[in-house]
A and B are shown apart, each in its own frame.
Chain A
Amino acid sequence: MFTPTSRHLLFSTQLRRLQSTLVIAEHNNEVLSPVTQNALTAAKKIGGDVSVLVVGTKCGPAAESIAKASGVSKVLVAESDDFKGFTAESLTPLILATQKQFKFTHIVAPATAIGKSVLPRVAAKLDVSPITDIIGVKDANTFIRTIYAGNAIMTLEAKDPIKVITVRGTAFPPEPLEGGSAAVEKAPEGSYKSDLVEFVSQELSKSDRPELTSAKNIVSGGRGLKSGDNFKLLYDLADKLNAAVGASRAAVDAGFVPNDLQIGQTGKIVAPDLYIAVGISGAIQHLAGMKDSKTIVAINKDPEAPIFQVADHGLVADLFKAVPELTSKLP
C-alpha cells in the first residue's frame, strides 16, 4: 500500500505530531535574555520538534540570536506595538493563535515575571493545568518541580493533552547559540492589542554588575547589614569577585535595597558557583532561593544561625570587620 518512502514520511509526520514544543523567547526588544537558552534546553529534553516564538515591539536581535541555536526548527516572529510592555493580555491571544495553527503538544517559557504572568493565562484559555517552575523533565508527560519552598520535590504526570510549562532557569544548562540555522517566519498575524490594560512605564534598577539569576558569583546581604549605606561593603566585595549583589527579604523590607534583589521562595531563585551570605540568618524562605548554589559561604556573628547548616564554609565573625578584611585581602 505504501512505498517505503511514503511510509517513512508518514512515520516522521506522526512523530512530529506526537511531540512538538513552542518555546516563548524572553527578550527586552534589544537582546535575548539568557534564560531563554535554559528554557530551550528543557524543551529539547522533552523531545520532538522545537519552535520558538519571539514577540515584542522589536524582535530582530532576539530572533537572530535564537535562530542560531541547534535543534530549533523554526522561529516565529510577531513584531508589533500591540506587544508594548509584554502584557499578558496582548501576548495570550497571539500564543493561542499560534497554538491553533501549529497544534503544539508543549508550550514552554522561562519562569520569569513575564513567563509567570502569561503562561497560566494561556493555559486557562486552553483549559489545561499549567506546570510551574519545573526543575526536571522525566519524559514528555512527567515533570519534576519543588513545593513548600524547595523542601519537597514533586514528580507529577500531567494528564492534559497540552502541557503548558514554565522552566526554572538555574535547573537547566543554557543551550549554546550556535550550530543551528532555523527558518524565521511570521507568526499568525492579527490585532492583538488589548484594551483591558495599558502599559505605562518601567523603573528598572540600573547596575553594572552581572545579572543576578545568571551570575557566577553572588554576594548577598541580610538584616545584619543594619542599613542601606552599609551595603557598600558588599558592593566593594562584589566588585572584587565580579559578583552580583542579592539580598534577603529582611533587607528588602527594611528598605536597604530594592525588591528586585530579593533571593528566596518569592524572589529570585539563583544557583551560582559561589554564594556568600552576609548577615543572613538563613530562614526556610531564603534557603529556597539559593541552596542549589555550588559553594555557600556564610559570614554571621551568630554561630547558631541556620545558614551555617547549609554553608560549606562558615565564618563566625562580625561582618563589619570580616567583610572589609576579606575585600582587602582578596587578590
Chain B
Amino acid sequence: MSRVLVGVKRVIDYAVKVRVKPDKSGVVTEGVKHSMNPFDEIAVEEAVRMKEKKLASEVIAVSCGPAQAQETLRTALAMGADRAIHVEVAAAEYETLQPIHVSKILAKLAQDEKADIVIVGKQAIDDDSNQTAQMTAAVLDWAQGTFASKIEKSDAGLTVTREIDGGLETVKTKVPVVISADLRLNEPRYATLPNIMKAKKKPLKKVKPSDLGVDIAPRIKIVSVEDPPVRQAGAVVPDVDALIGKLKEGGHV
C-alpha cells in the first residue's frame, strides 16, 4: 500500500480581485481572504479517495510558508489527511520562494516519509507557474503524471489519463510517481464541522527548509509587479443589425 504525500499552498482566494501594491513590489496580501489553492483541494481529495479505496495507507499533507500555512494544513486534515508537515518559511523569504525550492523540499520529505505517491495541484493560481510536480519528479527521478483527470490502479503502477492540448492522453506510470491534479480529476468534498474539530487534534509537525538541507536562496529578482493594461470600455449595441454594422466597421466580416 502506498503512502501519499500531498502538497498544498495557501493562496489569495480565487474570487478575490487582486490589487497591485503602489510601490510595484507585489500584490496586496494583507487583510485579503486566502484559501487553499483550488487545484490542491483536488489533490487532497484524490489522496483521501485513494485511502478510502484502500490504495493508500496514509495521507500526509505538506505546506511551505509562514505561520498561516497551518490553516491550510488544517483544512487538508479536515478533508481526511492523517497528519501534516508545516515547512516554516518566514514571510520575507516566502516572497521569493519558488517551485524549485518547494520541489526540493517535497522530494526530501517524500524520501524521509517513505512516500510512494506525491500529488500536487497542476498550478497555483497566484504565481501560475505549473512547475512543482514536474520538478519534484525530476529531483526524485520518478515518473510524472501531469494534468491528471483520472487515476486508476494498474498491475505495475498507475494508469493516468492526462489533459493535453488536443484532447486526452493515457499513460502508464510506475510507482513511485508524482502526479499533478487537473480540474476534472474530482470534485473536492467540503470539510464538515465534526471533521474540522477532529482535524485540530491531528498531528502537525513543523520543520525548516534548513532541517531538510534545502537552500531557499532566491533564484529571481522581482523587478516590478504592475497592473495589466486596462481595456477601453466598449458600448452596448441595441440589436443584431447594429452588431453586424460594428463587425463590418472593424473589418471582421
Residues of chain A having any CB pair with chain B under 8 Å: 85, 87-89, 92, 112-114, 116-125, 127-133, 142, 145-160, 194-205, 213, 217, 241, 249, 252-253, 258-260, 265-266, 268, 273-274, 284-285, 291, 295-297, 303, 308-317, 322, 325-326, 329-331
A308 engages B236 (CB within 8 Å): yes
B240 engages A152 (CB within 8 Å): no
A201 engages B18 (CB within 8 Å): no
B174 to chain A, nearest CB (A): 5
B220 engages A156 (CB within 8 Å): yes
A-B contact pairs, 8 of them (CB 8 A): A88-B134, A117-B146, A117-B147, A120-B134, A123-B135, A129-B219, A147-B128, A331-B253
Task: Report the Cα distance A259→B161, complex, angstroms.
Answer: 13
B129-152, CB < 8 A from A: 129-132, 134-139, 142-147, 149
For the complex of A and B, 4 pairs with smallest distance between CB atoms: A124-B138, A120-B134, A196-B143, A129-B219
Contacts of A285 in B (CB 8 A): 14, 125
Q: Within the complex, which residue of A121, A201, A284 is in contact with B170, where a contact is CB–CB below 8 Å?
A: A201
Given contacts A133-B128, A326-B243, contact A204 B167 (CB under 8 A): yes
When C-beta atoms are compared, the residue in chain A nearest to B236 turns out to be: A314
Q: Within the complex, which residue of B137, B142, B250 is in contact with A295, where a contact is CB–CB below 8 Å?
A: B250
B145-168 near A? 1/0 per residue, CB < 8 Å: 111010000000001001111111
- Other than the given A130-B131, A330-B244, 16 more pairs (CB < 8 A) read A118-B134, A121-B134, A124-B134, A129-B100, A148-B12, A149-B128, A152-B226, A154-B222, A197-B171, A252-B184, A266-B182, A273-B252, A310-B231, A313-B236, A314-B235, A315-B243
Contacts of B147 in A (CB 8 A): 113, 117
Q: Does B225 contact A (CB under 8 A)?
A: yes
Residues of chain B having any CB pair with chain A under 8 Å: 12, 14-15, 17-18, 20, 27, 39, 98-100, 103, 122-123, 125-132, 134-139, 142-147, 149, 159, 162-174, 177, 182-184, 218-228, 231-237, 239-241, 243-244, 246-247, 250, 252-253
Task: Report the Cα distance A27→B65, complex, angstroms.
Answer: 39
Given contacts A89-B143, A128-B100, A274-B247, contact A151 B225 (CB under 8 A): no
Contacts of B130 in A (CB 8 A): 116, 120, 132-133
A123 engages B100 (CB within 8 Å): yes
**In the complex, number of A-B residue pairs with CB atoms less than 8 Å apart:** 254
A13 to chain B, nearest CB (A): 28
A196 to chain B, nearest CB (A): 4
When C-beta atoms are compared, the residue in chain A nearest to B226 turns out to be: A153
A259 engages B184 (CB within 8 Å): yes
Task: Report the Cα distance A225→B190, complex, angstroms.
Answer: 28
Contacts of A114 in B (CB 8 A): 164-165
When C-beta atoms are compared, the residue in chain A nearest to B177 turns out to be: A196
When C-beta atoms are compared, the residue in chain B nearest to A127 turns out to be: B100
Contacts of B136 in A (CB 8 A): 124
A147 engages B126 (CB within 8 Å): yes
A205 engages B220 (CB within 8 Å): no
Contacts of A202 in B (CB 8 A): 164, 166-170
A259 engages B125 (CB within 8 Å): no
Contacts of B170 in A (CB 8 A): 200-202
Task: Report the Cα distance A194→B103, complex, angstroms.
Answer: 21
Contacts of A204 in B (CB 8 A): 166-167
Q: Within the complex, which residue of B128, B168, B227 is in contact with A203, where a contact is CB–CB below 8 Å?
A: B168
A127 to chain B, nearest CB (A): 8
Task: Report the Cα distance A117→B162, complex, angstroms.
Answer: 11
With most chain A CB atoms within 10 A of its CB, the pick from B126, B231, B233 is B231
Task: Report the Cα distance A196→B125, complex, angstroms.
Answer: 29
Q: Within the complex, which residue of A118, A129, A266, A326 is in contact with B244, where a contact is CB–CB below 8 Å?
A: A326
B128 engages A89 (CB within 8 Å): no
